[in-house]
Amino acid sequence: MTDSANIDDERRQSFRIDMEKELVDISWTDENGNVQQRKIVCLDFSRGGLKVDCDHIIPIGTAIEVLFKAAHPTSQKLSGKVLRCIQDDSGWFHIALQLDE
């Protein structure tokens, strides 16, 4: 098994936190160079990334910043990129984000 395969397997087996649909703030730069910001629902959080629901498509590979508890003085900002963006029957997008190391 390659090192990257070991890392991917380790991420899949890592501890996950059910976020119970906690709202987080995300931001990214769109294809026109405009900064987009949304308050979205975080469904799942693990060592390797997040799963979120969003009302807007975000292309795969897009760099993202995620801010937890924006109004709190000890809020934490994480960066990553979009791995998957799949539209469901309701028109919303299930987005998988891989966090930077």
Give strand ranges (E) for the chain: 16-29, 35-46, 49-54, 63-68, 76-87, 93-99
Residue 58: pLDDT above 90? Answer: yes
Predicted structure pTM score: 0.74
Task: Assign 18 a pLDDT band (cuts: 50, 70, 90).
Answer: very low
Three-state SS for 5?
Answer: helix
Domain 3-99, CATH: 2.40.10.220
Residue 7: pLDDT above 70? Answer: no
pLDDT for 72 equals 66
Where along the chain do its domains lie? 3-99
pLDDT tens digits for range 64-92: 999 887 656 666 888 999 999 999 999 99
